[in-house]
Chains A and B, each alone.
Chain A
Amino acid sequence: DADVTQTPRNRITKTGKRIMLECSQTKGHDRMYWYRQDPGLGLRLIYYSFDVKDINKGEISDGYSVSRQAQAKFSLSLESAIPNQTALYFCATSERLARASGRADTQYFGPGTRLTVL
């Protein structure tokens, strides 16, 4: 079974609809992330969470919200979807490394959700 799963895998919706993307992980990692990927722009961080109830904005959080109610789950919501939110969305996880280790967390990605907003 996959360590990081995302649902749905594909979604087509209309402008103004509320959408929730779900992410679950069995890796036991504390840290979880949401990214979007657009052609020519690479991966951009939307939100991240270091623990349950801990929420931090990434570089492009406007128009999105998240919820981390359990260590294994991190959901992303689009309250009122708009066409420029059409993208490939990835959830990722990482374990917490000691800062003194000098190493960055390796991030493990889910399979992605392809969202189309018409």
Chain B
Amino acid sequence: RKEVEQDPGPFNVPEGATVAFNCTYSNSASQSFFWYRQDCRKEPKLLMSVYSSGNEDGRITAQLNRASQYISLLIRDSKLSDSATYLCVVNGGGSNYKLTFGKGTLLTVNP
């Protein structure tokens, strides 16, 4: 299994749709999990840290399943401004500095 694997995408959805991103990771010792967002030709920016209890911020919900080594991101009522690449990011386990990035999933929200 690759260290961090995401849906390859791309996703094209209409405004208002609900879209789910999936990610799996191979290192069972990993302790920290993130979703970053990257707009076209821009730098990645932290969207959300992911906790075991799950977390929600407005229209966005992230879930972690440690047993399955699976992370998800759900965007509800999608907006045009949600169009971006979404990166699943996991730390290397046993170290708190080394982050491994998934290749990203491109989302385009259409009017």
Contact = CB atoms under 8 A, between A and B. Distances in A.
Interface of A: 31, 40-43, 45, 48, 50, 90, 94, 97, 99, 101-112
10 residue pairs, one from A and one from B, having the closest CB atoms: A104-B32, A104-B91, A109-B43, A42-B103, A43-B101, A104-B96, A42-B101, A109-B44, A102-B31, A111-B43
Interface residues on B, range: 20 to 34
A112 B42 contact: yes
Contact of B49 (A42, A102, A106): A106
Most chain A beta-carbon neighbours within 10 Å: one of B32, B87, B97, B102:
B97
Interface of B: 31-32, 34, 41-46, 49, 87, 91, 96-99, 101-104
A101 B34 CA distance: 16
B103 A41 contact: yes
A40 B97 CA distance: 24
A24 to B, nearest CB: 15
A28 to B, nearest CB: 17
A107 B99 contact: yes
Given A106-B49, A111-B42, A112-B42, A42 B104 contact: yes
A43 B44 contact: yes
A94 B32 CA distance: 14
Contacts of A94: 97
Given A42-B104, A104-B91, A109 B97 contact: no
